[in-house]
Chains A and B, each alone.
Chain A
Amino acid sequence: MNSSIILSVTTFVYAFASVLYIGSWTFKKEVMAKAGFFVFVAGFTGNTMGIILRWIESYKIGYGHAPFSNMYESLVFFSWTIAALYLFVEIKYKERIIGVFATPLAFLSIAYASLSPSISDKITPLIPALKSNWLIAHVITCFLGYAGFAVAFGFSIMYLIKPVDLEQKDHISGDKKLQNGKKSLYSKLPSLDLMDELIHQMVMFGFLFLTIGIITGSVWANSAWGTYWSWDPKETWSLITWFIYAILLHLRLMRGWHGKRIAWVSIVGFMAVLFTYFGVNLLPGLHSYA
């Protein structure tokens, strides 16, 4: 049994969990979401074991480094952070259905790592510049930040899909469930207020960790190259992402910016995250991965 196999299996477990969540939403079956939760927890366990095993394997080979050093490892870790954060939210807020758009993101990330032919799952040694504890702190915090934004993105999509008139009916009947048995697809979704709040919570979580990620990266750059900020494209794009979410936080403080509009800004922000992560590799710079 090696880590790559465990992680490939994890990919399919995540896929199954996503299918269950989406199924529970489309077929209005709460029980599927419940099952989805347990499958997702199983996937998360596999994901965790895979990462730990890979860490051990790297020591056995003699390279001995934390498994956060190339595209494959970062993608696997990205899905781990998304899963961890999502599970935390589901458990804390006791809302099952919100996983419809968040769980597939955990699946997509690890699926891209496992299935893309251009991403190798080989364990490679670290070049001198990457040998730093700051690297570990940098990668962990950046990906926690990205996970916050990813989950916020999932919630934002959900927010935009939920029709407003239904919500108003919801309000009339109070917080209790609709009395008549006609439950529509959307009445399963949590209230808009809760979604709005959750998006904000996730953005704040993401912002804090992206902030720490940029800071640890900058301290690392200062210890390796003697410059804490050099405006290389990856750095700049992470700053652009940071600006976008800072804008989001301030927009909420201005009258009228809630709900839908914030959901859109959060989607734009996540596009910037994706570009920082994948797009920048097309541009020249110091970062070879992640």
Chain B
Amino acid sequence: MEKNNSDKKSENILWNTFKSVKLTVVVLLLLAVTSIIGTIIPQNGTEQFYLNRYGEVFFKLFNLLDIFDMYNAWWFILLLVLLSVNIVICSIDKLKTTWKIIFPDKITFNIDRFRRLKDKIELESNSNLEALEAKYLQFIEKNFGFATVEKSEDQNPKGVAIFGESGRWTRIGVYVVHLSVILMLAGGVIGSLWGFKAFVAIPEGLTVSSAFLRDNNRPVELGFDIRCNSFSVTFYDTGQPKEFKSNLTVLEDGKEAFTKDIIVNDPLRYRGLSLYQSSYGIDSAKSATFKITSKQSSMTYSKKMEIGDTIDIPESGGKFTLSEFVHGYNFRGHNLGEGFVGRMYSSNKVDNGQNSESDKNGEIEIYIPIKFPTFDKMRGGEFSFEIEDYEKQYYTGLQVTKDPGVWYVYVGFILMIIGCWITFFMSHQSICVEILEKNSGCKVIVYGTANKNSQGMKLKVGKIASMMDKL
């Protein structure tokens, strides 16, 4: 580039800054060091949490610097942008020259370059020059894929040099690595612009058509309906969970499209969305079996009921309706936890127990907690209720993700691995076999060089030479 005006010059300064590996080192170092912050200060917590932890002053300071969501902070994004610009400019700049090396008009060799090499191996042979030339040319061609012969210029002593090379194309490797970084970053941007992460909890048997965004809880339409047919959880004998499984049906316009079981590590993917098994809980109970004890006769009766059922209490004790399942119940300031709420209608208006307020019809509300089986006995009524067994109704918690950028990221992953493999383990290797005539037979010198991994090349030259010696 000509530097004939100041405009070009300032352009060059910018260009030279961005093409420098020094900048790369600085930016990568800054990324590494700043990334530590987010691993020490918990991210995306509540304001209250931070206030308690760091106090007013530090809270304000950290908040100002977006430390609480630092991986999305403007300055962190800026570092990533700098890295990208750096990679692009640097690659364009270097590729201009590398391209000429990879695709030269004509491959030329310079014997003096090889002669200057420190590592070389000398062999002696009794054969004549022409025989050796033919033999070694074929050998080098076979081992390197490309070979040419040149007569030595001075012809004193008479000699030829065979040049061979392989792996010229491997010089493209680092560009593949750098391109992959750009692809991954681009995939991340695409994902955050056009994708979303949401959550939905579906009780067994119910259907939903939308989920709630993780960030702000706003609903987002799925574009189809999804029904949770059932959820199940199994445990190991150690008590650790073994498997969480939801049986889901996708419905299009109310018609069943298909049904699939999802487990952790095997999500449902449909129309650009992915649904992951992410949590579960008890939504309600489908039915319960009660043990009813009569105070008078000390008899116990077992009754299975669904929510909403009404039964006749034995011994003409009246009627009992199972109203609902609740997650908590307040009794004199204590939360009794999950349990069933029922209504009892006594046939005779005798004492229904001290703990409940009986209304004029002798109708009372009673609570039957799961955790405290004797609770209802304490009421002191004619009949007490205890839970023998109940069938849980679960809800399944699904993470709903849309990420159109993931494919760019995955292609980046593959290119990154291929590119690293090429740059690290493959090289552009050149070899030169110089054959010089002697009084009897020939002297053979083998030189080799590579654009990297000189130690490996040295070993390879040794191997090639010993193979040639045995030919």
| Chain A residues at the B interface, C-beta cutoff of 8 Å | 63, 92-93, 124-125, 127-129, 131-132, 134, 194, 197-198, 201, 204-205, 207-208, 211-212, 215, 218-220, 222-229, 231, 233, 236-237, 239-240, 243-244, 246-247, 250-251, 253-254, 280, 283-284
> Is A243 a contact partner of B28 (Cβ separation < 8 A)?
yes
In the assembled complex, the CB of B87 is this many whole angstroms from the nearest CB of chain A, namely 11
Contact A205–B29 (Cβ < 8 Å): no
Partner of A283, one of B40, B188, B236, B277: B40
Chain B residues, CB < 8 A from A222? 406
Within the complex, the shortest CB–CB distance from B94 to chain A, in Å, comes to: 11
B281 to chain A, nearest CB (A): 16
User: What's the minimum C-beta distance from B448 to chain A, rounded to whole angstroms?
Assistant: 15
CA distance in complex: A245, B434 (Å): 40
Interface string of B30-62 (1 = CB under 8 A from A): 011001101110110000000000000000000
- Smallest distance from the beta carbon of B50 to chain A beta carbons, Å? 15
Which residues of chain B are within 8 angstroms of A198 by Cβ–Cβ distance? 455
A250→B267 CA distance, assembly (Å):
40
Select B278's contact among A225, A228, A254, beta carbons within 8 Å. Answer: A225
- Decide: A226 and B22 in contact? CB cutoff 8 A: no
A-B CB contact pairs (8 Å), 5 listed:
A92-B459, A132-B265, A240-B35, A243-B31, A250-B25
Q: How far is the CB of A218 from chain B (nearest CB, A)?
A: 8
Closest chain B CB from A197 CB (angstroms): 4
Q: Is the CB of B4 closer than 8 A to any CB of chain A?
A: no
Contact of A250 among B21, B236, B241, B406 (CB under 8 A): B21
Q: Which of A194, A201, A284 has the most CB of B within 10 A?
A: A201
Q: A228 to B236, Cβ gap below 8 A?
A: no
Contact indicator A125/B242 (Cβ below 8 Å): yes
* B65 part of interface (Cβ distance < 8 Å): no
Interface set, chain B 151-193, CB cutoff 8 A to A = 188
**Are A223 and B25 closer than 8 Å at their CB atoms?**
no
Within 8 A of A (CB), among B412-445: 413, 416-417, 420-421, 424-425
Q: A128-B265, A215-B413 are known contacts; what are 15 more A-B pairs with Cβ within 8 Å? A: A125-B238, A125-B242, A129-B265, A197-B454, A205-B424, A208-B424, A211-B416, A215-B417, A226-B400, A226-B401, A228-B406, A236-B38, A247-B32, A250-B25, A254-B21
Most buried by B among A198, A229, A247, A251: A247
Q: Are B264 and A250 in contact (CB under 8 A)?
A: no
Is B455 a contact of A201 with CB atoms below 8 Å?
yes
- The 3 A-B residue pairs with the shortest CB-CB distance, nearest first, are A243-B32, A226-B401, A233-B39
A212 to B401, CA, bound (A): 24
Q: Interface SS of chain A: helix, strand, loop or mixed?
A: helix
- CB-based contact A212/B417 at 8 Å: yes
B399 close to A (CB within 8 Å): yes
B residues in contact (CB < 8 Å) with A: 21-22, 24-25, 28-29, 31-32, 35-36, 38-40, 42-43, 71, 188, 197, 236, 238, 240-244, 263-267, 274, 276-278, 399-401, 406, 409-410, 413, 416-417, 420-421, 424-425, 453-456, 459
If over half of B's interface residues share one DSSP class (helix, strand or loop), that class is named, otherwise mixed; here it is helix
Among the listed A225, A231, A240, which residue makes an inter-chain contact with B71, where contact means beta carbons less than 8 Å apart? A231
Which residues in A have their C-beta under 8 angstroms from that of B413? Answer: 215, 218-219
Q: Judge whether A197 and B25 touch: CB under 8 Å.
A: no
- Whether A226 contacts B265 in the complex (CB less than 8 A), given A215-B413, A254-B22, comes out as no
Tell me the nearest residue of chain A to B276, going by C-beta: A226
Identify the closest chain B residue to A125 (Cβ): B236
For residue A254, which residues in chain B have a CB less than 8 angstroms away from its CB?
Answer: 21-22, 25
Residues of A within 8 A of B188 (CB): 229
B263→A128 contact, CB < 8 A: yes
State which of A93, A226, A247 has its C-beta within 8 Å of the C-beta of B399: A226
Residues B265 and A227 in contact, CB atoms below 8 Å apart: no
Contacts of A92 in B (CB 8 A): 459
Tell me the complex Cα distance, A195–B194, Å.
49
CB distance from B413 to the nearest CB of A (A): 5
Given contacts A129-B265, A198-B455, A226-B274, contact A246 B28 (CB under 8 A): yes
Indicate if the CB atoms of A124 and B40 lie closer than 8 Å.
Answer: no
Closest to B26 in A: A247
> In the complex, which of the residues A128, A204, A253 contacts B242, with contact meaning CB atoms closer than 8 Å?
A128
User: Is B455 touching A197 in the complex (CB atoms < 8 A)?
Assistant: yes
* Closest chain A residue, CB of each to CB of B37: A236
How many Å lie between the Cα of A247 and that of B417 in the bound state? 18
Known interface pairs A201-B453, A208-B420; A223-B29 also in contact (CB < 8 Å):
no
**B411 smallest CB distance to A (angstroms):** 12
Selected contact of B32 from candidates A201, A207, A240, CB within 8 Å: A240
Smallest CB separation, B35 vs chain A (Å): 5
What's the minimum C-beta distance from A5 to chain B, rounded to whole angstroms? 23
Is there contact, CB below 8 Å, between A227 and B267?
no
Q: Which residue on chain B has the smallest CB distance to residue A254?
A: B21
CB distance from A232 to the nearest CB of B (A): 8
B residues in contact with A237, CB < 8 Å: 39
Question: In angstroms, how far is the closest chain A Cβ from the Cβ of B21?
Answer: 5
| A247–B25 touching, CB < 8 Å | yes
Chain B nearest CB from A254 CB (Å) reads 6
Distance A246 CA – B28 CA, assembled complex (angstroms): 8
Q: How far is the CA of A283 from the CA of B31 in the complex (A)?
A: 20
Residues of B within 8 A of A128 (CB): 241-244, 263-265, 277
